[in-house]
Amino acid sequence: MKVISRKEAIEKNLKYFFTGKPCKRGSIEKRVVRNSDCICVACSQAIKEMKRKSQLKCRPLKGRFIHPNEESRKRALKVSRKKWQDNNKDKVKVYKDRWAKAHPEKHVEGAARRNKRWSDSNRAQNSLYAKKWRQDRKDLVNLYTINRRAKRLSATPSWFSELDSFVLSQCTELCVLRKNATGFAWSIDHMIPLQGDAVCGLHVWNNFQVIPAKMNSSKRNKLIFMEPSEWITSVEKYFQTTHA
């Protein structure tokens, strides 16, 4: 057999090369250009055995083989995907929006599920957030409370109109304005209580008034401050007596 180096064999586009020197198992044979493997019987068997052993290391999963490095490959994939997403936030947003539009129910479901999972695993944090929100948005809490109460007492007429809800939202804003101006809390009151002993008021625009929260909580269902601005005449006396 003629000696031909690997380099020459590559140049001549041959499959094998031949050094004329014995392999580590003592045979003088040609070698494969691609991986320099010796093709003698002993080497072929040894190589076959090595491949079989590396196959055994793989663990079967759902009918296919997973290479031991599969996990790290997946991890690397995740990292590179995250990197791409961070660098292409606009595209990600477009894709997500497109998906959400195509699957509206799934989108809402998924958001609810994620919210629930988060609040389940961050219960303390969540209640802190809720508490802070209630403190920051006392105006809205107040609004929800009075709407809920009216609903429970069926004081909301079927003809509850745009005007009613407009006046109500103006009252909500007025609570905030007056609180900022005076430093104490204001709330929306029904001039004629929804659940008075003698009369029952309605949850409508001309029954709303904004009075100090203290006066409102002491008023409850008493038939006082029932005329527009009537509460103003008692406010001085009220605050003197309550502060004394």
Residues making contact with Zn ion (CB under 5 A): 23, 25, 27, 38, 40, 43
Which token pair is 4?
């031909």
Residue with tokens 């001549």: 12
Amino acid occupying residue 218 = S
Query: Smaller CB distance to Zn ion: residue 40 or 211?
Result: 40
Q: Least distance in Å: CB of 8 to Zn ion?
A: 21
Query: Smaller CB distance to Zn ion: residue 30 or 190?
Result: 30
For the four alpha carbons of 124, 128, 131 and 137, in that order, the dihedral sign comes to negative
Which token pair is 142?
């107040």
Query: Smaller CB distance to Zn ion: residue 42 or 223?
Result: 42
- List, in order, residues 6 or more apart from 193 with CB less than 8 Å away: 199, 200, 201, 219, 220, 221, 222, 223
Query: Smaller CB distance to Zn ion: residue 4 or 40?
Result: 40
Q: Least distance in Å: CB of 32 to Zn ion?
A: 11
Q: Please, which residues bridge with residue 166 across strands?
A: none
Q: Least distance in Å: CB of 81 to Zn ion?
A: 45
Rounded distance between C-alpha atoms, residue 237 and residue 196, angstroms? 24
Q: Least distance in Å: CB of 35 to Zn ion?
A: 13
Query: Which of 205, 201, 185, 181 shows the shortest CA–CA distance to 193?
Result: 201
Query: Smaller CB distance to Zn ion: residue 26 or 183?
Result: 26
Query: Smaller CB distance to Zn ion: residue 35 or 121?
Result: 35
Q: Least distance in Å: CB of 47 to Zn ion?
A: 9
Q: Least distance in Å: CB of 2 to Zn ion?
A: 19
Q: Is 150 exposed, middle or buried (0-12, 13-18, 19+ CB in 10 A)?
A: buried
Rounded distance between C-alpha atoms, residue 236 and residue 168, angstroms? 26
